[in-house]
Structure 1
Amino acid sequence: MTTVVLSIGSNLGDRLAHLQSVLDALGPAVTGVSPVYETDAWGGVEQGPFLNAVVLAEDPALDAHGWLRRAHELEDACGRTREQHWGPRTLDVDLVSCRDDDAEIVMDDPDLTLPHPYAHVRAFVLVPWSVVDASAESAESAVSAHLAALDPAERAGVRLTDLVLRPRSAG
């Protein structure tokens, strides 16, 4: 059984609907979802703010590369284009961490690096991840420790919203 941590974000179009589309598509595979946060864009490209969340999911049929393909399918379904590195996007689905039978998968392939190489320095990933899974670990360190190591101003830039994502029930 593979379990994944997905960081999802959107700053174009109906941002909340794009995030919700991930939960709708994954259906009963979703085992947890964080609150929705708003953050300023990261990466130095002028653009509007993002809505961000973290989704926990599991699927016995997918390996790490299968989850990456699934993430790209979800992005494509929302009209994602890859024109500018760190540019605006309808939907961004990042595979942050993947576990197989509770062992963290570590890989550095041309197509996929796990755990995500920048997750430990991105407040917009760590804040929602720590909320949805308070005991989460990545690269043998507690997510809470990575979060505590960040600049307080960066943590404060992850603003809780009153928006709600709803997992689709298995029925």
Structure 2
Amino acid sequence: MSSQAPHDESDAKWVTAYVGLGANLGDARRALRQAAQQLAGADGIGELTLSPLYRTAPIESSGPDYINAVASLRTHLAPHELLDVLQHIERLHGRERPYRNAPRTLDLDLLLYGEQRIDTPRLNVPHPRMHQRAFVLRPLLDLAPEMKLQGKSLPELLEACAGQALQAL
């Protein structure tokens, strides 16, 4: 999925951000595609590209397998404003947070926001465990093959996650 809305980069500072999408309750594929469309249509989002979808077993969690993807987007929203949009879309999909790592109808995680490092009670960017998760690294590799995290290439990081089952859909 690729969506582009017109924008004038001189009007605001546009930043590339990456968002992890996941779900393991209900129609997870449909939820991810709808969430990507909703995100692409949100004010302050200039363009969005969704990676292919992947099926993965839960990690530090329970329930059915997850469907995961990563979206690359251009935005002029501040990081916490983007987080508000992500959480609003989660709520539209019935997201509840009864306990840590509970099964979910939709999970949207802000993985990267330009080159910024953010450490607040509500938001940690880069996402603190993304370099350890094949379900983030593989779709991220589809979108940004030259990217490095913590000084390592995505294929190097994926090799370290070789024990995590991942199936392209």
CA RMSD across the alignment: 1.5
Aligned to 1:98: 113
SS of residue in 2 equivalent to 1:153: coil
Instruction: Kindly provide the amino acid, as one letter, of the partner of residue 130 in structure 1.
Output: L
Equivalent residue for 2:50, pick from 20, 27, 33: 33
SS of residue in 1 equivalent to 2:145: coil
SS of residue in 1 equivalent to 2:83: helix
Equivalent residue for 2:140, pick from 107, 129, 145: 129
For residues 72-131 of structure 1, what are the alpha-carbon distances to aligned partners after superposition, in whole Å with 9 as ceiling and x for unaligned?
0110110000002111000000000011xxxx0002111111100000001110011111
Structure 1 range deviating more: 65-74 or 48-57? 65-74
> TM-score, normalised on structure 1?
0.83
Unmatched 5+ stretches in structure 1:
162-171
Aligned to 1:53: 69
SS of residue in 2 equivalent to 1:31: strand
Equivalent residue for 1:66, pick from 81, 94, 97: 81
Is the contact made by 1:39 and 1:52 (CA closer than 8 Å) also made in structure 2?
yes
Task: Give the ranges of 4+ consecutive aligned residues of structure 1 lying more than 4 Å apart after TM superposition.
Answer: none
Higher helix share: 1
Aligned pairs for 1:138-153 (under 5 A) are: 138-148=149-159, 150-153=160-163
| Structure 1 Cα separation of the partners of residues 80 and 150 of structure 2 | 19
Is the contact made by 2:130 and 2:136 (CA closer than 8 Å) also made in structure 1?
yes
Aligned to 2:103: 88
| Structure 1 Cα separation of the partners of residues 24 and 102 of structure 2 | 10
How far does residue 64 in structure 1 lie from its aligned partner after superposition? 1.0
How far does residue 137 in structure 1 lie from its aligned partner after superposition? 2.8
Instruction: Kindly provide the amino acid, as one letter, of the partner of residue 96 in structure 1.
Output: L
> TM-score, normalised on structure 2?
0.84
